[in-house]
Structure 1
C-alpha cells in the first residue's frame, strides 16, 4: 500500500533517511532532525512531500519529493530527493509502487518531468530504473555548493538582493 505521509511518520522517515545515508556511505552527512523534517513536510509552507510504502507490519519505504519547474516546458515537475525501501522488503514491488504513484501524480497534475539522481556505483538501482523506462541524463553534470564555498559566494551578493 502507498499512502501520503502524516506527521506521525516523521520519526520513521528520519530513521529510513539514516539507513539510506548509511547505504550510500555517507551516514555522517545525514544531520536532519525531526523538527526540521516535520516543518519541511507539514509546516505552513511545505517544502517537500512524502509517500510511505507500507505492508502489514508497517512502513517499509518512502519517497520524499518536491516540485521543480521547467522553463522549457512551462510546467512543474517532480524531483525525487530520496527513494528507499528497507532491505527486508526489497523485491516486493514497493519501490516500483512508490515511483508509479509519483508518475501518476505527474500525469494527473500535467507535470511533464519526473527526475532524480542516483550514485554512479549503485548498479542495482540503475538497473531497476532502466527496467521501468527511465533514461540517464548523461550529458548533464550535477553541481553543488555547500559549506565554505556557499558562504563565500553568498558574501559577494549585493546587500539589497533577495
Structure 2
C-alpha cells in the first residue's frame, strides 16, 4: 500500500443504504435469542428513527474485505449523573455466525470505546441474556464485568400506555 492509499476499515458508520442489512441483522439476532416474533421494526421505521430528522440511535457496520456487511452495533448515548459524563448504551451487537471468531465483534467494541474517548465518555454498558454463555465469556475476555446487583426493568406495550395516560402535561 502506498502512502496515498487508505486502508479499508472493517468498521464503518452505517448509512441509510444499510437499512436492509440492519433489519436483517435485527431479525437474525431475534432468531438467535428465540424471540423472532418480537421484531416490530421495519425498513421505514429504521429510516425514520436512525436516519431521519431526529436520530435516536447510531449504527456501526462490520464488513469483510470485499465490503460485505458481517454484523452491526446499534447504540445510543446515555448519561451518568455520578460521573457527570456521557456514556454509550449498546442496544444490539450481532455478528453473523460464519463471521464469528474473526474479530468483528471485538472491532465493533473497540470502535465504541474509541467513540467514548472522543466524547470524554466514562462507560459503555449493555445487557446480555443470562443463558448466552458464549457472549458473556466473550465480553468478560474484553474486560467487561457483570453488574449482578442490578436488575433490568422494563415497561412496554399496554403497561406503557396505561402509565402514559397518567402523565401530567408538561409541554412535550
Same-fold call, TM > 0.5? yes
Q: How many residues align?
A: 162
* Residue 56 (structure 1) shift: 2.9
Largest Rg, 1 or 2 = 2
Question: Paired residue for 1:121, among 124, 131, 136?
Answer: 131
Distance (Å, rounded) in 2 between the aligned partners of 1:121 and 1:141: 15
**Structure 2, gaps ≥5 residues long:** 1-9
Question: Paired residue for 2:70, among 48, 60, 66?
Answer: 60
The one-character-per-residue Cα deviations of 1:28-71 (angstroms, maximum 9, x if unpaired) are 11110111111211111211000000003500000000000111
> Does the residue aligned with 2:122 lie in a helix, a strand or coil?
coil
Residue in structure 1 matched with residue 98 of structure 2 by the alignment: 88
* Residue 160 (structure 1) shift: 4.6
Distance (Å, rounded) in 1 between the aligned partners of 2:50 and 2:159: 28
Instruction: State whether structure 2 residue 27 is matched by structure 1 residue 18.
Output: yes
Q: Which runs of 4+ in 1 moved over 6 A?
A: none
CA RMSD of aligned residues (A): 1.1
Distance (Å, rounded) in 2 between the aligned partners of 1:4 and 1:42: 12
> Does the residue aligned with 1:46 lie in a helix, a strand or coil?
coil
Question: Paired residue for 2:82, among 66, 69, 72?
Answer: 72
Distance (Å, rounded) in 2 between the aligned partners of 1:159 and 1:108: 37
Question: Paired residue for 1:39, among 48, 52, 61?
Answer: 48
TM-score for both structures, normalised by structure 2? 0.91
Residue in structure 1 matched with residue 36 of structure 2 by the alignment: 27
